Amino acid sequence: MDISQYLNVFMDECREHLQTLNQVLLELEHNPDNSSLLDQIFRAAHTLKGASATMGFNKMANLTHAMEDVLSKLRSKEVNVTPEIVNILFEAVDLLESLANSIASGKEEDIEINGIVQSLRALTVMQPTPISAQPERRTNLQLRYTEIEKEPIVQALKEGTKLYHIEVTLSENCLLKGVRVFMVLREIEKFGIIVKSAPTLKDLEDEKFDFRFVLGVLSSSAVEEIVNPISNIVEVEKVVCEEIELNNIPIEKRIQTVESEDRSKISSVQTVRVDIKKLDVLMNLVAELVISRSRLESISAAIQNKQLDEVLEQVGRLTLELRDNVFKARMVPVETVFSRFPRLIRDLSRELKKEIDLEIYGGETELDRTVIDEIGDPLVHIIRNAADHGIESAEERLQKNKPEKGKIILKAYQEGNGVVIKIIDDGRGFDIERVKEKAVSQGLVSREALALMKDEEILEFTFLPGFSTAKQITEVSGRGVGMDVVKTKVNALGGFIKINSKFGEGTTIEIRLPLTLAIIQTLMVQLGNEVYAIPSGYIDQIISINKKDIKQVRQQDVFTLRGEIVPLIRLQHVLDTPGALNESFEELDVVVLKTGDRLVGCVVDGLMKQQDVVIKSLGDYLGTVKGIAGATILGNGKVALIIDIRAVA
């Protein structure tokens, strides 16, 4: 039986079980007497053992088996939950994660597990190993068939196939019964078809049997051809094979209600695993449909046909509904990322010798899978910095009349067409004066210019490569790397990041991300002979101003909006667009954009319409072009460039 086809399913389930182990072990550390937590951990480890053994990943199976022994002692109260045991279990989970990653890359043999396995076994040596010297034997393992099961068997026997009942007895010292069962099944499937088993195949997989099981097999092979390979399997003690004649097929007189219940449960499954690549293909098809809809709208506007307009309206509505449903199918709760941080904070607290609480809110907030996959590492950088540089030592916090235990809050919520993630700590905050001195000493800014800058602008120096205000380098942070990587990654995802901090009180880092990277709503604008798309999520408002209302401050055009001075830029200068006409206009169309707390006005020649557009990259030939985030295809077949608002602002 080829198991490679099941590898992706195994890896998905493996990561789910590892996540469960991490989360529940954290809870067990704080509630060591909670037996239900131990049950959850045991079930996850047991299931992972069975799955890895079936797949042939012996190192993972052996490690989880060692964990299972320790957990059994804990569940039976033979051993009490202690910090030492929890730490060793965490080390085992870390090693399981390394094994999972190595399995995905095909290099499981490179991971050494003997050290941690010996540590786990050392926790149980003080207790007698065998619970019972002679396990209870099941005396009734006879196979019986229902009338429905009998029909195809009778037909096969009439065609010359033979029905064998094969009883297999494993050694009582067998540790991984599930592995041996899998090996037996694999050998039998080379010669025939397994039609029934006692116990059921599910119970065999879960090791819910003593050391014997019986299989009903349809095969054209001789008895010796089937029995000999099974007998040669390690820890198979005995194999007995009996051929069942047509007239002697044992019948189950009572219909098994349990089986029918199981089938009804299977039929009511509400979810299905889908490869993310299939969703990517579906998203691309929807994107092409959006482009085709725009083309139809252009044709409809040209020929003015009422019937076509009606059909187009319906197609447009269905396209939007399809797009929204594909979006929802790709959405993943940020909890999938947030769930790794309680463990991170626990380890950092121990490493830094600080007491830190982590509070998480809004884990149910959803983001596109592509965004979720990329945002994890930037958040790790920020949280490590908050724990190392932000949160003070217990002594320092007591001197400042703060609670001895520091606090980090991780919060997510949806706002408009995007998601906001905030990382808040109640630590020492950024020392603005140190940031200023560092910026001047590195030649990043003059003292005169620094005096005119707001605190928020000064804090943005911390995003520059190699910029760090840490007084000493630690194993956690302080090398001047990290925050520049964070900003680069966030910008690549179409988002932006900002810092608010009060020295002595704490820091808030805010990340704003788009819900998806595939299709966005835009405002189409005219500039010379070119059409540009401005993402609607950044638009604060659209206004018209007179040339007379434009002033100059420090050689920058500005205008006043609601009592606030707003910089004014002409997009043709930023994008190097020839033929722009707004230089000669008395009344100017201005699109006011908002990035964070900042406003900026962009002058355009004319406003066209709102339109959903499909983002296409510029390709390797053009690469990165300043001020341009990508391109899209319009209804008339022409290309419109999508403006990168962060670069413009």
297 is catalytic: no
- The answer to whether 253 and 227 have CB atoms below 8 angstroms apart is no
Going from the C-alpha of 190 to that of each of 11, 144, 186, 214, 352, the distances in angstroms are 26, 24, 7, 17, 57
Q: What is the separation of C-alpha 397 from the centre of its chain, rounded to a whole number of angstroms?
A: 35
114 is catalytic: no
Give the whole-angstrom CA distance, residue 267 versus residue 269: 6
Q: Please pick, among 17, 205, 207, 385, the residue that the annotation labels catalytic.
A: 385
Going from the C-alpha of 361 to that of each of 338, 355, 420, the distances in angstroms are 9, 20, 12
Q: Please pick, among 68, 91, 355, 456, the residue that the annotation labels catalytic.
A: 68
CB atoms within 10 A of CB 3: 13
- The answer to whether 605 and 532 have CB atoms below 8 angstroms apart is no
Going from the C-alpha of 257 to that of each of 59, 150, 268, the distances in angstroms are 39, 17, 17
In eight-state DSSP terms, residue 583 is G
Going from the C-alpha of 42 to that of each of 67, 113, 132, 253, 257, the distances in angstroms are 8, 20, 20, 38, 29
Degrees (nearest 5) of the Cα angle 511, 513, 514? 165
- The answer to whether 496 and 460 have CB atoms below 8 angstroms apart is no
Q: Please pick, among 46, 65, 165, 389, the residue that the annotation labels catalytic.
A: 46
Q: Which H helix or E strand runs over 306?
A: helix 306-330
What is the SS3 assignment for 619? helix
CA proximity to 614, closest of 270, 182, 286: 286
- The answer to whether 49 and 61 have CB atoms below 8 angstroms apart is yes
* Omega prior to 199 cis, within 30 of 0: yes
DSSP 148-181: HHHHHHHHHHHTT-EEEEEEEEE-TT-S-HHHHH
Give the whole-angstrom CA distance, residue 519 versus residue 532: 16
What is the SS3 assignment for 509? strand
- The answer to whether 88 and 123 have CB atoms below 8 angstroms apart is yes
Q: Which H helix or E strand runs over 428?
A: none
Going from the C-alpha of 385 to that of each of 129, 423, 432, 470, 474, the distances in angstroms are 46, 11, 17, 10, 11
500 is catalytic: no
- The answer to whether 540 and 599 have CB atoms below 8 angstroms apart is yes
CA proximity to 140, closest of 81, 91, 209: 209
The secondary structure of the chain in percent helix, strand, coil, rounded to multiples of 5, reads 45, 25, 30
CA proximity to 91, closest of 347, 323, 324: 347
Query: Which positions are catalytic?
Result: 46, 68, 385
